[in-house]
Amino acid sequence: MSDDPEDRMLGWDESVFRDEHVFEIDWLPETFKHRDTQMETLKYALRPAVRGSRPLNVIARGPPGTGKTTAAQILFDELTAQTDVKTVRVNCQMDSTRYAVFSRLFAEIFDYEPPSSGISFKKLFSQITDKLVEEDEVLVVALDDVNYLFYESEASDTLYSLLRAHEAHSGAKIGVICVSSDLELDVIDALDTRVQSVFRPEEVYFNPYGQAEIADILGERADRGFNEGVVGPTVLDRVAELTEEQGGDLRVGIDLLRRAGMNAERRASRSVETEDVEAAYDKSKYVHLSRRLRELSDSETALVEVIAAHDGQQAGDIYDAFSEQTDLGYTRYSEIINKLDQLDIIDADYTNVEGRGRSRELTLNYDADAVLERL
């Protein structure tokens, strides 16, 4: 490359990116690295479905950004392309009730949405199982982020309906993959005993990626997504290092690469430098927070805003400010606190308050300005 600075500058119609879609969260890599053991266990559990039998149920657990959803998507794509097994992935952040889950199953099985009102769960359930038996299909359901069903107290009813489908309709064959990023949630213990007796899943743990593994995976993305020579080894190592600091969450690293590339383009540079990575990190490290905040309801968002303004105060005091905005009762207020605590957006620890006994102190787990900026 020429030493002339002008030769290193991007023109208006030029880009450092070869394929920017590679840095989208839903992009599936051609090679799924460092997850051979997990994939083998999942394939073992699903193999009976290929033979027309009910597959084994699975719990896939691990921190965010460790490949759980990608593993399910890759296996589902393979099953759809090579077998007659019907597969449906349900995003439980979006569909967090039993009715919403089965509405999603209905839409995927029938290729159209169920009526928005006027159809009971019993009828919805019956139409799904009737179709499976009529077509002699095995259905595998991935409940992605199943922890959200637990947060809404919907998990046991949802799983009971799925796992007992063959009793309600002879010949219905359904297997379930529960994907959870909440390491404090013991999925089996949190289920009703009536569900525990029929669930009995295989367990697959997705451990955090190490720095070398992160560099290897992100290096492949960089090769596919950037033009040749845009990202060098030093930059890639720094991205991997910062990603590991965020618990090995690959979504942080992927977003960091994309934002660093955009920063390089802002400088009209043909290469990404360490300074681009450092500048991007302040935003990329909050990828997980942004994702969780986007999924909150209006009342949940309102409480986050109130806590940000009264960080570290007692739950009773914060409720006074919250109720002025929403008119919600204390029971619903407590439910939202529990959910925000489970999502790790806040800490809600009990403390002894003089003259008032034990009370919960509500504190944000992130910088208040960073939270408010992303609401």
134: how many CB neighbours lie within 10 A of its CB? 9
Strand partners, 314: 361
Per the CB < 8 A criterion, the answer to whether 274 and 260 are in contact is: no
Mean pLDDT within 159-173: 93
Give the distance from CA 239 to its chain's centroid: 21
DSSP 8-state secondary structure symbol assigned to residue 2: -
Residues contacting residue 148 through CB under 8 Å, at least 6 positions apart: 92, 93, 96, 295
Element (H, E) at 255: helix 250-266
pLDDT of residue 102 exceeding 50, the answer is yes
Two tokens at 278?
């450092």
Per the CB < 8 A criterion, the answer to whether 91 and 145 are in contact is: yes
Per the CB < 8 A criterion, the answer to whether 32 and 74 are in contact is: yes
Q: Which amino acid is at 299?
A: S
DSSP 8-state secondary structure symbol assigned to residue 19: -
302: how many CB neighbours lie within 10 A of its CB? 18
Residues contacting residue 360 through CB under 8 Å, at least 6 positions apart: 314, 315, 337, 348, 349, 350, 351
What percent of the chain lies above the pLDDT cut of 90?
A: 79
| Distance in angstroms (rounded) separating the CA atoms of residues 246 and 312 | 24
pLDDT of residue 61 exceeding 60, the answer is yes
CA distances from 71 to 163, 250, 358 (A): 22, 14, 44
Mapped onto helix, strand or coil, the DSSP state of residue 105 is helix
Give per-residue burial for 263-276: e unless 16+ CB within 10 Å, then b.
bbbeeebbbbbeeb
Q: Half-sphere exposure (CA, 13 Å, Cβ side) for 352? A: 1
Strands across the sheet with 86-91, in order?
A: 86-91, 138-144, 173-180, 58-61, 202-205
- Residue whose entry in the numeric block shows the structure tokens 């927070």: 289
Q: Which amino acid is at 348?
A: A
pLDDT, tens only, 189-199:
999 999 999 99
Domains in the chain, ordered, with CATH?
35-205 (3.40.50.300), 210-293 (1.10.8.60), 296-373 (1.10.10.10)
| Distance in angstroms (rounded) separating the CA atoms of residues 359 and 362 | 10
Looking at residue 358, what is its pLDDT?
Answer: 77
pLDDT of residue 185 exceeding 80, the answer is yes
12 versus 181: the higher-pLDDT residue is 181
E strand segments, the chain: 58-61, 86-91, 138-144, 173-180, 202-205, 346-353, 357-364
Looking at residue 115, what is its pLDDT?
Answer: 86
Residues contacting residue 338 through CB under 8 Å, at least 6 positions apart: 151, 348
Using the Cα atoms of residue 283, residue 286, residue 290 and residue 293 in order, give the sign of their dihedral.
negative
> Of the segments 15-24, 114-123, 315-324, which one has the largest average pLDDT value?
15-24
| Distance in angstroms (rounded) separating the CA atoms of residues 252 and 249 | 6
Using the Cα atoms of residue 247, residue 251, residue 256 and residue 257 in order, give the sign of their dihedral.
positive
pLDDT, tens only, 2-32:
444 444 567 777 899 999 999 998 899 989 9
Q: Which amino acid is at 85?
A: V
Residue 27 sits at φ, ψ, to 5 deg, of: -75, 130
Mean pLDDT within 287-310: 90
R_g (Cα) of the chain, nearest Å: 24
pLDDT of residue 360 exceeding 90, the answer is no
